[in-house]
């Protein structure tokens, strides 16, 4: 005797969200369950494509359906009913802001590797170089062509190995030309980059914010539907002090802080293999404990993960000693995005009648 939709839903109650600690049915993460022609068609309120935790949840659902003798067709959908209704960037699933309290800590390098890493996993990714006065993204992610223009005068981003890129660096004639702009002009360019770019459909838009907590950063936070922010620091106390200010800025603007990436966390001697904390040790841990934010990862000093704008700043070699650290950071950020979105779904689901899911899945 074949399994019913209601019985399948009961089996799905045995799958626990690894980050929230409740089952996916109670959290409202299952939109709909249908069984047609021995195929389970399941709609999930997932919104972080290629996040390891959500891929694992999908694998558990497939195992349950396989044990029940069913093929499975999984779909992901979140929308206005889950609190995801954005007029700005409506075709972008997630906006990730990458920030730093001060310059020179590797913020742009982390942002570029995050974009490239997510694209490598299969996601559709764009990156917005919002650092108007220091647009270095095109140096790390060299594009294949110049920006295009649509008939409606929207900018079409060029691509770098699949990643769509927009930067102030495209607007200057020479790489060394300075962007001498006052506040109003900076805001004008930023709004053009937000509202006048044909991004297409994106799973993730990475925004490389200007360092510090100035007007440009504040205006962007007020204008963009930011899913979450990543703060980059080094172990030095001066960098940590500015990082604390950045976290407080995000908290005041109700922007979730996904976590902290500690760059230049240590130096591994290529000769002896010993690890040395050139800029101090465990510096980011004090921030993690005080502000209750995760430490996403620690990236060591290595030529493959060089200073912003260097030829080695984008890690492409799977055999690179720093590759594992970068991959872990990319996966962890995707997981934190997924957790943030699933908690948002749960908050909206908890306001609905308790019989919502049974009504949806039963004939």
Binding-site residue set: 101-108
Unique residue bearing structure tokens 């691509």: 159
Closest CA to 334 of 246, 221, 206: 206
Rounded Cα distance, 177 and 183, in Å = 18
Q: Residue 75 pairs with which residues in a beta bridge?
A: 43
Nearest to 141 by CA among 168, 164, 118, 174: 164
Angle 355-361-362 from CA coordinates, rounded to 5°: 85
Q: Record the tokens describing residue 113, joined without a space.
A: 């590797």
Asked if residues 294 and 336 have their Cβ atoms less than 8 Å apart, the reply is yes
Say how far apart CA 258 and CA 250 lie, in whole Å: 11
- Scan for tokens 């770098």, then name that residue: 160
Q: Give binding residues for ATP as ranges.
A: 101-108
- Please give the C-alpha separations between residue 321 and each of 121, 300, 302, 331, in angstroms, as whole numbers: 19, 9, 8, 17
Looking up tokens 């690894």 gives 18
Do the Cβ atoms of 338 and 46 come closer than 8 Å?
yes
């Amino acid at each position: 005797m074949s399994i019913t939709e209601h019985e399948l839903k009961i089996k799905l109650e045995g799958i626990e969200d690894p980050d929230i600690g409740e089952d996916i049915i109670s959290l409202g993460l299952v939109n709909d369950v249908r069984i047609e022609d021995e195929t389970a068609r399941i709609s999930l309120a997932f919104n972080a494509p290629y996040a390891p935790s959500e891929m694992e949840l999908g694998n558990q659902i497939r195992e349950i359906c396989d044990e029940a003798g069913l093929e499975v067709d999984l779909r992901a959908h979140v929308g206005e009913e889950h609190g995801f209704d954005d007029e700005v960037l409506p075709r972008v699933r997630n906006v990730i802001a990458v920030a730093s309290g001060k310059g020179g800590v590797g913020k742009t390098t982390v942002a570029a590797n995050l974009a490239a890493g997510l694209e490598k996993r299969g996601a559709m990714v764009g990156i917005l170089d919002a650092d108007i006065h220091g647009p270095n993204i095109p140096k790390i992610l060299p594009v294949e062509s110049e920006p295009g223009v649509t008939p409606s005068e929207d900018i079409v981003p060029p691509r770098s190995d699949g990643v769509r890129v927009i930067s102030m660096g495209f607007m200057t004639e020479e790489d060394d030309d300075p962007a001498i702009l006052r506040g109003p002009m900076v805001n004008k360019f930023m709004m053009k980059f937000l509202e006048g770019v044909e991004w297409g459909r994106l799973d993730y838009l990475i925004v490389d914010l200007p360092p510090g907590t100035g007007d440009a950063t504040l205006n962007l936070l007020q204008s963009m539907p930011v899913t979450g922010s990543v703060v980059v620091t080094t172990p030095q106390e001066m960098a940590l002090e500015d990082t604390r200010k950045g976290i407080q800025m995000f908290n005041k603007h109700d922007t979730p802080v996904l976590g902290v990436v500690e760059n230049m966390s240590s130096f591994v001697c290529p000769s002896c293999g010993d690890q040395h904390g050139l800029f101090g040790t465990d510096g980011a841990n004090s921030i993690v404990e005080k502000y209750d934010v995760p430490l996403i990862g620690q990236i060591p000093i290595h030529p493959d993960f060089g200073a912003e704008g260097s030829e080695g700043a984008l890690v492409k070699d799977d055999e690179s000693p720093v590759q594992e650290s970068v991959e872990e950071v990319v996966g962890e950020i995707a997981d934190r995005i997924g957790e943030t979105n699933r908690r948002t779904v749960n908050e909206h689901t908890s306001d609905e009648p308790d019989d919502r899911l049974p009504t949806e899945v039963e004939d």
